[in-house]
């Protein structure tokens, strides 16, 4: 049996869980998420807990069972607490601002970049103590928050020589030494 898959998931008091066939709908204070569970796995609500079971007990079946349980646990955590990722914009003249439904980035290119913000995601921009823009991405879907953060970071990945670019707040950029000047003689 899958060690992760067989663990029941506690349902918090403010969370409403509906199971309709293979579709699970979870609603909480931060939002509403739904997911269709793959066929060998079944989901049921028993005694205030969400329980997953499977009929496929080979290696891939057990791994899918554990994955399904983890995804459902992430959904429950997301609709209750939400998820957040923080990005730091580093570089001279690099700016970020939210204007209406778009995130506008000035990253040293010949044109400004306008990133459309998805409806279920909230993005805020604040300056840190050393005047660097910090982008905070919040939402109830862990996967979507991660995808939005990764696509914003992709506009200008941190480079190893000066450290310019967009990076996660907890990400360490490995710096390289530049060219050294030697005198002939």
Count of domains forming the chain? 2
User: What pLDDT score was predicted for residue 168?
Assistant: 93
User: What pLDDT score was predicted for residue 60?
Assistant: 86
Q: Is residue 29 domain-shared with residue 66, that is, in the same domain?
A: yes
User: What pLDDT score was predicted for residue 34?
Assistant: 94
Q: Which of 33, 55, 80 is the last residue of a domain?
A: 80
Q: Is residue 101 domain-shared with residue 51, that is, in the same domain?
A: no
Instruction: Tell me the CATH number at 96.
Output: 3.90.930.12
Q: Which of 31, 63, 80 is the last residue of a domain?
A: 80
User: For residue 17, what are the domain limits?
Assistant: 9-80
175 in any annotated domain: no
In residues, how long is the chain?
185
Q: Is residue 74 domain-shared with residue 93, that is, in the same domain?
A: no
User: What pLDDT score was predicted for residue 185?
Assistant: 57
pTM of the predicted model as reported, rounded to 2 decimal places? 0.85
Q: Which of 35, 56, 80 is the last residue of a domain?
A: 80
Q: Is residue 74 domain-shared with residue 126, that is, in the same domain?
A: no
Q: How far apart are CA 31 and CA 76, in angstroms?
A: 10
102 in any annotated domain: yes
User: What pLDDT score was predicted for residue 128?
Assistant: 85
Q: Is residue 50 domain-shared with residue 114, that is, in the same domain?
A: no
Q: Is residue 48 domain-shared with residue 65, that is, in the same domain?
A: yes
Please check whether residue 7 is in contact with residue 69, taking contact to mean a CB–CB distance below 8 angstroms.
yes
Q: How far apart are CA 65 and CA 59, in angstroms?
A: 10
Lookup result for tokens 């005047």:
131
1 in any annotated domain: no
Which tokens sit at 73?
């646990």
Q: Is residue 60 domain-shared with residue 92, that is, in the same domain?
A: no
Sign of the four-CA dihedral 37, 43, 45, 50 = negative
Q: Is residue 88 domain-shared with residue 124, that is, in the same domain?
A: yes
Q: Is residue 64 domain-shared with residue 96, that is, in the same domain?
A: no
Give every residue of the chain whose pLDDT is below 50, as ranges: none
Distances (CA, A) of 92 to 26, 103, 124, 132: 44, 19, 21, 9
Rounded (5°) CA angle 89-90-91: 125
């Amino acid at each position: 049996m899958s060690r992760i898959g067989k663990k029941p998931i506690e349902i918090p008091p403010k969370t409403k869980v509906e199971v309709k066939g293979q579709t699970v709908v979870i609603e909480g204070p931060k939002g509403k998420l739904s997911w269709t569970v793959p066929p060998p796995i079944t989901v049921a609500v028993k005694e205030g807990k969400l329980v997953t079971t499977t009929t496929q007990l080979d290696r891939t079946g057990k791994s899918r069972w554990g994955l399904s349980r983890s995804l459902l646990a992430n959904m429950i955590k997301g609709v209750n607490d939400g998820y957040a990722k923080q990005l730091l914009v580093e570089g001279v003249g690099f700016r970020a601002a939210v204007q209406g439904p778009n995130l506008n980035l000035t990253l040293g290119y010949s044109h400004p970049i306008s990133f459309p913000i998805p409806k279920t995601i909230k993005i805020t921009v604040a300056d840190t103590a050393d005047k660097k823009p910090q982008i905070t991405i919040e939402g109830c879907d862990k996967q979507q928050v991660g995808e939005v953060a990764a696509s914003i970071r992709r506009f200008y990945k941190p480079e190893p020589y000066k450290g310019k670019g967009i990076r996660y707040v907890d990400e360490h950029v490995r710096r390289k030494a530049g060219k050294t000047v030697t005198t002939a003689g």
